[in-house]
């Protein structure tokens, strides 16, 4: 007879593993099916290994500027790309093992293989179509295998994979996706990055700091198109100062491959075109959800533009089948997947006061140099919605801590509703802003107004004081500018 559970989760990424752990905490009998790597894209090929690479880039950048801090470094500092990649892969492996440990601790069964829903309440697990490679290492011991399993509830958390443009498909050799970009065997001399979203810009930043000649091609009118235009323009100037070439309103129209290089024909909005030859190219034009071959059609689960349709609690249109994370639509971020996981499981468990996920307050962070972080409405979006707004700005150049750190290139921008004082959006660029943004996220969640923020005491000296000054500036009360 098929082994049965209260909950089966398909996929062990940040959505899936958090759902499984929360369900186990709530007393459910839980299993997770995984075909490739525990902890999903985030820990193995996304959030964590990129941050490890970028940390090496930060250290290299700081060491290269040792003189600015009164330090003499003898000898030259140069990247050892094999060691940098080995460090990043080691960290990914540690995260992956950590999830295995958490499953054991919470008595969550792991079923190794490829899951397909056969009907609501039943899945069949077949042989994985994906090779199990590093950082996963061997399939963990004590996992269950192929067979039929039943569950009262099934959560689909199958994530996403790189999107490819027709004619410019990644080949893994000359045209990379994030998989190859994450573990280069050697540094190319030149690199073309197609797409300037978070993934494209983080790799552009990493490779440029490593000394690679980097060109970024972006079809929209600004880099990091979802960010506030002013913040994006600020960041672009910094990237260009570092030597990154950026082509906006431009698209890669054609690719010709040489034996060890690619030549891209770039078409611009003004009708002109140019050819750029680079050793390697990264295709960073977004991701697409893993919705195929998991039995959604047979079960009658609705999808829209490639993503599973859910309500604020992860429910699909089919009772007993839920979806969370990247497979259920944007923003395609690990913390959104984790939050949806908890909301979905607590709703299944019948807990009181479970709030639907509010997508308007999900922060976004890009860990390039300088970092970019934001939450809520951009100035353009607020105006588009017909809001009457007040905008505050504060430059890191007037913040003592930022100057002391040698990190005075940055700014904070805050957007308030003129009538109510509600904080509508906060946008930051500069050192450590990915850590600082959470202050504004908490503020927005508590429906804070400008008054509350002005009454809050920020520690001195910290870069966070720029956050308060930006609020003061919106109300004509800025103190240090
Ligand atoms: C280079 C890069 C950098 C990123 N950086 C950040 C960042 O800094 N911050 C951030 O918030 N987000 C970042 N992301 C995005 C983040 O990785 C994703 O949003 C997150 O991993 C989504 O989690 P998930 O659980 O929905 O899916 P995933 O992490 O994709 O996990 C899905 C899992 O399901 C498994 N699976 C799929 N189909 C089946 C099947 N049929 N049977 C069994 N198992 C299956 C897969 O093997 C995978 O392990 C980054 C992504 C990339 C690519």
Closest listed residue to residue 358, CA positions, set 340, 378, 338? 340
3-state helix/strand/coil string of the chain = CCEEEEEEEECCCHHHHHHHHHHHHCCCCEEEEECCCCCHHHHHHCHHHHHHHHHHHHHHHHHHCHHHHCCCCCCCCCCCHHHHHHHHHHHHHHHHHHHHHHHHHCCCEEEECEEEEEECCEEEEECCCCCCCCCCCCCCCCCECCEEEEEEEEEECCCEEECCCCCCCCCCCCEECHHHHHCCCCCCCEEEEECCCHHHHHHHHHHHHCCCEEEEECCCCCCCCCCCHHHHHHHHHHHHHCCCEEECCEEEEEEEECCCCEEEEEEECCCCEEEEEECEEEECCCEEECCCCCCHHHHCCCEECCEECCCCCCECCCCCEEECHHHHCCCCCHHHHHHHHHHHHHHHCCCCCCCCCCHHHCCEEECCCCCEEEEECCHHHHHHCCCCEEEEEEEHHHCHHHHHHCCCCCEEEEEEECCCCEEEEEEEECCCHHHHHHHHHHHHHCCCEHHHHHCCCCCCCCCCHHHHHHHHHHCCCCCCC
Question: Are residues 29 and 106 both part of a single domain?
Answer: yes
Are residues 15 and 150 located together in one domain of the fold? yes
The secondary structure of residue 309, as a DSSP letter, is -
pLDDT at 94: 97
DSSP 251-279: EEEEEEE-SS-EEEEEEETTS-EEEEEES
State residue 142's pLDDT score.
Answer: 87
Q: Is the CB of 15 under 6 A from ligand 1?
A: yes
Nearest C-alpha to atom 30 of ligand 1 is from which residue?
Answer: 159
Judge whether 256 lies within some domain. yes
60: in domain: no
Q: What's the rounded Cα separation, in Å, for the pair 124 and 126?
A: 6
Report the nearest atom of ligand 1 relative to the CA of 38: 49
Question: Do both 276 and 294 map to the same domain?
Answer: no
180 Cβ below 6 A of ligand 1: no
Question: Considering its fold, how many domains does the chain have in total?
Answer: 3
Q: Could you please report the per-residue DSSP string of 212-223?
A: -EEEEE-SSSSS
Give the Å distance between the CA of 278 and the centre of ligand 1: 29
What was the pLDDT predicted at 4? 97
Regarding whether 106 and 36 lie in a shared domain, the answer is: yes
**CATH code at position 93:** 3.50.50.60
Using an 8 Å Cβ cutoff, are 180 and 36 in contact? no
Residues 20, 142, single domain; the answer is: yes
- The rounded Å distance from CA 343 to ligand 1 centre is 18
Q: Same structural domain for residues 194 and 299?
A: no
pLDDT for 76? 86
76 domain-assigned: no
Which residues form the domain of 467?
Answer: 370-474
Distance 71 CA to ligand 1 centre (A): 41
According to the model, what pLDDT value does residue 279 have? 98
Distance 186 CA to ligand 1 centre (A): 26
* Active site annotation includes 460: yes
| Ligand 1 within 6 A of CB of 283 | no
* Domain contains 166: no
Compute the distance between CA of residue 475 and CA of residue 414 in angstroms, rounded to an integer.
Answer: 11
pLDDT in the model for residue 106: 98
Give the pLDDT of residue 204.
98
d(CA 394, CA 465): 10
Same domain, 15 and 147: yes
| CB 74 within 8 Å of CB 118 | no
Burial 428-439 (b: 16+ CB within 10 A, else e): bbbbbbbebbeb
Both 106 and 250 in a single domain? no
217-249 residue pLDDT tens: 999 999 999 999 999 999 999 999 999 999 999
Judge if the beta carbon of residue 326 lies within 6 A of ligand 1: yes
336 with 315, same domain: the answer is yes
Q: Supply the pTM of this predicted model.
A: 0.98
φ and ψ at residue 436, rounded to 5 degrees: -75, -30
Residue stretches of the chain with pLDDT short of 70: none
Q: Is the beta carbon of 158 within 6 A of some atom in ligand 1?
A: yes
Largest Cα–Cα distance of the chain, in whole Å? Answer: 72
Any ligand 1 atom below 6 A from CB of 200:
no
Q: Which of 61, 339, 427, 460 is catalytic?
A: 460
* H or E element in which residue 9 lies: strand 3-10
36 lines ligand 1 (CB under 6 A): yes
Site to probe by mutation for ligand 1, drawn from 8, 15, 42 as the one with most ligand atoms within 8 Å of Cβ, is 42
- Does one domain contain both 144 and 292? yes
> Which tokens hold the place of 112?
């190794």
Using CA positions, which residue lies closest to atom 5 of ligand 1? 47
- With a 6 A CB cut-off, is 50 part of the ligand 1 pocket? yes
Q: Considering 243, 270, 285, which residue would you say is the last residue of a domain?
A: 285
Q: Which residues contact 8 (CB under 8 A, 6 or more apart)?
A: 30, 31, 32, 33, 111, 115, 123, 149, 151, 153, 154, 155
Which helix (DSSP H) or strand (DSSP E) does residue 60 occupy? Answer: helix 47-64
Domain of 376, CATH number, reads 3.30.390.30
Pairing of strands 3-10, 364-366: unpaired
Task: Report the nearest-CA residue for atom 7 of ligand 1.
Answer: 47
Nearest to 468, CA basis, from 445, 440, 435? 440
In a domain, 167, yes or no: no
Asked, for residue 196, whether it belongs to a domain, the answer is yes
Measured between alpha carbons, how far is 148 from 63 in angstroms, rounded to an integer? 56
Q: Is 454 helix (H, G, I), strand (E, B) or coil?
A: helix
Q: Do 203 and 231 reside in the same domain of the chain?
A: yes
Domain closes at, from 254, 285, 316: 285
What is the predicted pLDDT for the residue at 2? 81
131 and 8 part of one domain: yes
Do the domain assignments include residue 74? Answer: no
List of residues 6+ apart from 460 with CB closer than 8 A: 400, 401
Distance 374 CA to ligand 1 centre (A): 21
Q: Is residue 75 part of a domain?
A: no
Domain boundary among 234, 259, 285: 285
């Amino acid at each position: 007879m098929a082994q049965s559970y209260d909950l089966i989760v398909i996929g062990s990424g940040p959505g899936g593993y958090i759902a499984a752990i929360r369900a186990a905490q709530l007393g459910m009998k839980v299993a997770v099916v995984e075909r490739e790597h525990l902890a999903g894209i985030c820990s193995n090929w996304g959030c964590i290994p990129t941050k490890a690479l970028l940390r090496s880039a930060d250290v290299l950048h700081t060491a290269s500027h040792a003189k600015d801090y009164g330090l003499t470094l003898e000898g030259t500092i140069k990247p050892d790309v094999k060691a940098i990649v080995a460090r990043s892969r080691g960290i990914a492996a540690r995260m992956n093992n950590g999830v295995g440990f958490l499953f054991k601790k919470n008595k969550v069964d792991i079923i190794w293989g490829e899951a397909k829903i056969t009907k609501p309440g039943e899945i069949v697990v077949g042989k994985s179509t994906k090779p199990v490679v590093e950082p996963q290492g061997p399939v963990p011991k004590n996992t269950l295998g192929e067979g039929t399993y039943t569950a009262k509830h099934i959560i689909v958390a199958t994530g996403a994979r790189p999107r490819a443009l027709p004619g410019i498909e990644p080949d893994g050799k000359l045209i990379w996706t994030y998989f190859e970009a994450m573990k280069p065997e050697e540094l190319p001399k030149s690199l073309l990055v197609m797409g300037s979203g978070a993934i494209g810009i983080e790799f552009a930043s990493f490779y440029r700091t490593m000394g690679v000649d980097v060109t970024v091609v972006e079809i929209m009118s600004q880099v990091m198109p979802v960010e506030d235009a002013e913040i994006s323009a600020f960041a672009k100037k910094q990237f260009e100062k570092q030597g990154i070439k950026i082509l906006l309103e431009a698209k890669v129209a054609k690719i010709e491959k040489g034996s060890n290089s690619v030549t891209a024909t770039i078409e611009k909005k003004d009708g002109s075109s140019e050819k750029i030859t680079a050793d390697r190219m990264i295709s960073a034009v977004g991701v697409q959800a893993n919705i195929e071959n998991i039995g959604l059609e047979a079960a009658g689960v609705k999808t829209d533009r490639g993503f599973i349709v859910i309500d604020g609690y992860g429910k699909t249109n089919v009772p007993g089948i839920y979806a969370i994370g990247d497979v259920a639509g944007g923003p395609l971020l690990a913390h959104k997947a984790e939050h949806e996981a908890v909301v979905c499981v607590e709703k299944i468990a019948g807990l009181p006061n479970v709030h639907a996920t509010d997508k308007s307050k999900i922060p976004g962070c890009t860990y390039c140099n300088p970092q970019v972080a934001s939450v809520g409405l951009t100035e353009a979006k607020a105006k588009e919605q017909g809001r009457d707004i007040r905008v505050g700005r504060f430059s890191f150049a007037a913040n003592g801590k930022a100057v002391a750190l040698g990190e005075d290139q940055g700014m904070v921008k805050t957007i308030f509703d003129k009538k109510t004082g509600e904080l509508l959006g906060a946008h930051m660029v500069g050192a450590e802003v990915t850590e600082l943004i959470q202050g504004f996220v908490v503020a927005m969640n508590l429906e804070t107004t400008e008054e509350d923020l002005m009454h809050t005491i920020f520690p001195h000296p910290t870069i966070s004081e720029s956050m308060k000054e930006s609020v003061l500036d919106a109300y004509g009360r800025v103190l240090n500018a």
